[in-house]
Amino acid sequence: MPVEQTTEAVSTESTAAADLTYFAVAPGVRLNVRSGPGTQYALVKVLPVGAKVPIFCQSPGTRVTGTYGTTNIWDNIDNGEYVSDAYVHTGSDGYIRPRCS
pLDDT digits (tens, 9 = 90+) for 49-101: 999 999 999 999 999 999 999 999 999 999 999 999 999 999 999 999 999 98
In this prediction the pTM is 0.82
Mean pLDDT, rounded, of the chain: 88
C-alpha torsion angle, residues 38, 43, 49, 52 (rounded to 10):
-60
